[in-house]
Amino acid sequence: MTALIGTLVNRPAAALVYTGTSRLVLPDTYVGVEVEAENVPRSFMDRPPPDIKTHWHPHIDDSLRDNGMEFAFAQPLFGMDVINAIVTLCEVARKHDFKTSMRTGLHVHIDVRELNLDQFIRLQVLYALVEAPIFRWVGDGRDKNHFCLPWYVAQGDLRKAASAFMAPPPECQKILERVHRYSACNLQAVAKFGSLEFRHLKTCFDSSRIIQWINILLSLKKAAVNSIIPPEALCEYSLNIGARQFLNEVFGPIATELWYPDYYKDIYEFGALSAEEIIRAVTPKSTSPAIADAMWRTMLYQQMEDEGDSAGYTRLISKLANKAKISAAIDIQPADPIDAGPIDMFEQLPPIQEEEDLF
């Protein structure tokens, strides 16, 4: 007589543990996950396995093929419940031979309700700066997918979306509801759920990769909360300390995942432009020189690198800085100044209060 009543009636006892874990960068931050898959047995809609019902809400997705379904967290989760939910779904998907395709995506929501405006703007600027390296990590040609458009290809829309947060609450929500929902970093979700939605990843059933992806995103939030650098100064700050040190400060040990040849050029060519759009939207009178600085540095360094003359790059930057007053520290090269002295931009993360209302 040891059988549990919940087991007998196919309603297992609640399996949520509501506890943090060191496996996540922010163990107390609420996370939402949506996973699209094809070739899913129809029985999963009417009678999903108990271990799926604990964490996930499956429903038919007509945009997919071959019995396509989306699995969304039944409620926002944090800590070990996030880990358990992802590991469980990946095991079930492999067991039942779920399929992925160019149509299937994995979307992650990160709770931002407790951020103040300064922290939220900083989060947007940090993301903009590292968007290209993030897409490089994601791979699968997702930067060309119309359902996860990079910010750096829609900068005009980006400025409009960012400016919404300077409007009064009712108007802010109305503006965000009109934002393009298929941006890779979807700001519309802030109005709808109180979360930032990241649509980059193609569906996979590798729990380690999914958890690493969530940690990359949580690292951005942690950096935005802990930073002592004003959002409008982040572009110039990243230039002055160099790309590698900047990534190290934002992502910690995960930073190595985002290194690749010429990643610093992508940060300065694409990231700085998007970041500047955000800064101009929220501080219209800003005249930050970061854009001109980044473009000059990248263009000139590439020219000198092609000629094998890095010393000539330094001389030319110095000459142009004197003539055109480019705000460049001439002793810093964008070729990644590993030995540049770090300036710690972060302090210890304050505890995030658990809220009753879920996004």
Positive or negative, the CA dihedral 295, 298, 300, 306 is negative
Angle between helices 155-163 and 272-282 (to 10 degrees): 30
Q: Which residues of 220-244 are buried (b: 16+ CB within 10 A; e: fewer)?
A: bbbbbbbbebebbbbbbbbbbbbbb
- Per-residue confidence (pLDDT) for residue 175, from 0 to 100: 77
- Per-residue confidence (pLDDT) for residue 341, from 0 to 100: 36
Strand order from edge to edge, sheet including 56-60: 56-60, 69-73, 31-37, 105-111, 195-202, 185-186
Q: Kindly report, residue by residue over 218-255, the tens digit of the pLDDT.
A: 999 999 999 999 988 888 888 888 888 889 999 999 99
pTM of the model: 0.78
Q: Kindly report, residue by residue over 326-340, the tens digit of the pLDDT.
A: 333 333 333 333 333
Q: Is the pLDDT of residue 285 over 60?
A: no
Distance CA 31, CA 17 (A): 15
